[in-house]
Amino acid sequence: MFFLKNYIAIWLLLLLLNQITVAQNIVKISSQQWHYNLGDQVEVLEDKTKKVSLAQIRANPQAFAFKKSAQPIPNFGYSHAHYWFRFRIKSSDLENINWYLHFNNHFIDTLIVYQFTDNQLISTKQIGDLLPYHQRYLDYRTLLIPLDLQAQRTYEVYVHFRGTFSKRLPIEVVEISDFLAKDQYTTLWQAIISGLFIALILYNIFLYWGIRDRSYLYYVGYLLCFLLVQLAYTGFANQLLFKNYPAFANIAFNFLVCPTLIFSNLFALYFLQIPQYYPIIGRIIGVANGLLALVSLLFLYCIIAPHNVLITNQLGVLVGFPMIILIYIVSFFIFFRKCYNPAQYYIWAWGAVYLGFVLFLLKTINLLPSNFVTEYGFQIGSAVEALLLSLGLANRVNQEKQEKLHLLRENEAIVREQNFKLEDKVRKRTHEINEINNELQQLNEELLQINETLHAQKSNLIELNHEKDGLMSVLAHDLRSPLNKIRGLLELMQEEAQMTEEQLSFAQLIENICKQSTELIEDILTLNSLSQTQNRAMISIDLIGFVQKHLADFQQAAHKKNIDIEIQTPDNEIVMIKGLKNHLSRILDNLLSNALKFSYSCTTINVSIGKNEHWAWFIIQDQGQGIKPEERIHLFKKFQKLAARPTAGESSTGLGLAIVKALIDDLKGEIEVQSDWGKGSTFKVFLPLVA
């Protein structure tokens, strides 16, 4: 019994304390003040399971440990958990006023407000950045929800936050008309910052157009992306640009940070000339830019898979933040160790923006409180950075201009010195050239005298050549006549006189000598006639018929040596060439007679005829002694005696192949020779076809 009394007493005490606490937690508002911050007056529940519902909380309040917030702006950093706020509110006015709940973080995915009075649910309102603007209660960049507050009544309000975003949850109660009136100053501030950026963008575009320096182009890209990042962070971009694309607006800020860092890195590469001073770091920055581009694509993927935003954001920080620190450190080395003056502008400019960014980051992860410095320090720092970098670019251009002017002056001095040296060399060379010209003039006069002498000698040689030709003709005629008479007398003696065998052999020997002498004279006359310029009229000749007829004249001589002559001609074809019959007859005579002279008994001489589009040819192939390789260069020279000897003691003047070559050249033809010593020779004669 005693135990039961004590239990009832404790229970009544706890109930009383709870009523006192509830009474203390009532937020009283009135028209005397139009703005109330609820951050440190709400109770907070962290739902790591993401499954707690309002019905569960209302059914069993003791099972859910709401804790009093100790922060003016509750901030739980990046977390996957859901959060609940709970507070009690009462309007002390005698008339109803348009009170709104304001959540100054437009990145909240889904926010639901439940409003109770007398333990009855009177309204449920939902908002969030995934909700299109036309479905919101007010077309405003942050989240505003109307509160249904009647004068002198107490309401219990539950706020449910869910989604993947930075769990910075500022909550306040505002009178809507006063709030919108004061918000004009924020809009004006943002307009000034944006106007400054737009002016700098246009200014640097004009500079790039005139200078064509890629640093300006990358800086323009950085300014444009950074302006969009600021507008996305403050909600202006979502309201003005992406209001019809809530899925993209949800990741716009994170997505735009990546190209901003990429352009920032590219600008640093060219502005600080990092590849020139530190090539390895330049390559590292290039790799980081590739990774940032990949992260930006992952953010786009988060449009359809929003649960990946947190891990993608961590990847972006893991890649981008070290590059920011690395480039900033490198800028100090470039300024102090390389004495590159424009780097100091980079140091001061990015120092300002990095300071603002660090303050913003520390506020985002709940290490610093939210105030004007942490809220707008990033924007102020970025504006200062943009101005300083523009000055830095101007300083860089001026420094490059001074360096170019210095180089130009040095070049002018070098050019003047080189001109002086060149003029001195020209004077010396001119003197040398004049001397050489005088020597050349003397040599020219000597050459003229030599030329006159040569001309006179040429005339004498031509006259002597004519005399030689005449002499050769007379000599040949005078020699040929006695030889013919001798041969005639021998024939007469052989027919009429009774001669012994010895006398007959002497007569045969004399006849052979006369015949050889006559052939030699004919060969000399042929060569002599070819050396003289003559107009010969070419005619059409049937090559097959001509060769066949000519071979018949050699059958008897071949039969005496027991040698076969075979001929191969193309079937049903006529081969017409352009030439001279005497030339062609002499070519065939010499080649066939050589084949018979140098072939052994019981062998075969093959003759074949063919043609193609432009040429006709005939081939004479024997199985004789052949030609040694070292003798081929002398083959067509006059009076050449080669190693091969006639097989039956026939005579050879050494002029046959020279005459063949001269006749073929006169017919505009060609001759080819293939021979193996001891195996025979092949002569292939090409002659032009009739056009």
332-343 pLDDT, tens digit per residue, is 888 888 888 778
Would you say how long the chain is, in residues?
Answer: 691
- Gap between the Cα atoms of 635 and 657, Å rounded: 7
- Given a contact cutoff of 8 angstroms between Cβ atoms, the answer to whether 246 and 131 are in contact is yes
Model confidence at 363: pLDDT above 70: no
The single residue listed with the structure tokens 């066939």 is 592
Burial class (CB in 10 A: 0-12, 13-18, 19+), 318: exposed
- 5 Cβ contact partners less than 8 Å away, ≥ 6 residues apart: none
- Gap between the Cα atoms of 607 and 333, Å rounded: 92
The single residue listed with the structure tokens 């083959």 is 635
The model's pTM is 0.53
- Gap between the Cα atoms of 253 and 129, Å rounded: 12
The single residue listed with the structure tokens 């309000």 is 157
> What is the pLDDT at residue 490?
66
> What is the pLDDT at residue 376?
67
- Given a contact cutoff of 8 angstroms between Cβ atoms, the answer to whether 40 and 70 are in contact is yes
14-35 pLDDT, tens digit per residue, is 444 344 344 447 889 888 888 8
Computed over every residue of the chain, the mean pLDDT equals 80
What are the phi and psi torsion angles at 670 (to 5°)? -140, 160
195-238 pLDDT, tens digit per residue, is 888 888 888 888 778 777 787 788 888 889 888 988 888 888 88
> What is the pLDDT at residue 290?
92
More confident residue, 499 or 96: 96
Give the other-Cβ count within 10 Å of 138's Cβ.
16
* Structure letter (DSSP) for residue 613: S
What is the domain class of 535-688 according to CATH?
A: alpha beta
Closest CA to 648 of 599, 587, 581: 599
CATH number 2.60.40.2380 given to 26-175: yes
- Gap between the Cα atoms of 574 and 566, Å rounded: 19
Measured between alpha carbons, how far is residue 323 from residues 269, 288, 316, 397, 471 in Å? Answer: 12, 7, 11, 26, 104
Pull the structure tokens for residue 331: 């800028």
Range with the largest mean pLDDT of 53-62, 403-412, 439-448, 491-500: 53-62
- Given a contact cutoff of 8 angstroms between Cβ atoms, the answer to whether 369 and 73 are in contact is yes
Helix 501-530, helix 372-496: angle, nearest 10: 140
- 7 Cβ contact partners less than 8 Å away, ≥ 6 residues apart: none
> What is the pLDDT at residue 523?
63
- Gap between the Cα atoms of 609 and 631, Å rounded: 27
Closest CA to 625 of 653, 644, 648, 603: 644
- Gap between the Cα atoms of 173 and 181, Å rounded: 15
Mean pLDDT computed over 168-189? 87
Q: How confident is the model at residue 13 (pLDDT cuts 50, 70, 90)?
A: very low
Q: How confident is the model at residue 686 (pLDDT cuts 50, 70, 90)?
A: very high
Give residue limits of the domains in the chain: 26-175, 182-405, 535-688
Closest CA to 675 of 595, 608, 607: 595
> What is the pLDDT at residue 47?
92
Quick check: helix, strand or coil at residue 115?
strand
> What is the pLDDT at residue 650?
65
Write the single-letter amino acid at 133: Y
Write the single-letter amino acid at 79: S
Pull the structure tokens for residue 608: 């074949």
Percent of the chain at pLDDT > 70 equals 80
Pull the structure tokens for residue 562: 């027991």
> What is the pLDDT at residue 54?
92
Long-range contacts from 400-408, C-beta under 8 angstroms, 24+ separation: none
Quick check: helix, strand or coil at residue 218?
helix
More confident residue, 545 or 643: 545
> What is the pLDDT at residue 483?
64
Give the other-Cβ count within 10 Å of 361's Cβ.
16
243-269 pLDDT, tens digit per residue, is 888 888 888 888 888 898 899 888 888
Kind and range of the H or E run holding 125: strand 120-127
- Gap between the Cα atoms of 117 and 646, Å rounded: 142
Give the other-Cβ count within 10 Å of 49's Cβ.
8
Q: Which conformational region is residue 60 in: left (phi greater than 0), alpha (psi within -120 to 50 degrees), or beta? A: beta
The single residue listed with the structure tokens 């006069």 is 445
- Gap between the Cα atoms of 136 and 49, Å rounded: 28
Q: How confident is the model at residue 9 (pLDDT cuts 50, 70, 90)?
A: very low
Return the CATH architecture of domain 182-405: Up-down Bundle (1.20)
Model confidence at 55: pLDDT above 80: yes
> What is the pLDDT at residue 112?
94
- Given a contact cutoff of 8 angstroms between Cβ atoms, the answer to whether 112 and 131 are in contact is no
Percent of the chain at pLDDT > 90 equals 11
Angle at 495 between CA 494 and CA 498, to 5 degrees: 65
> What is the number of alpha carbons within 13 Å of residue 612 lying toward its C-beta?
3
Mean pLDDT computed over 370-385? 70
Mean pLDDT computed over 91-109? 85
Closest CA to 159 of 108, 115, 109: 115
Quick check: helix, strand or coil at residue 151?
strand
- Gap between the Cα atoms of 13 and 11, Å rounded: 5
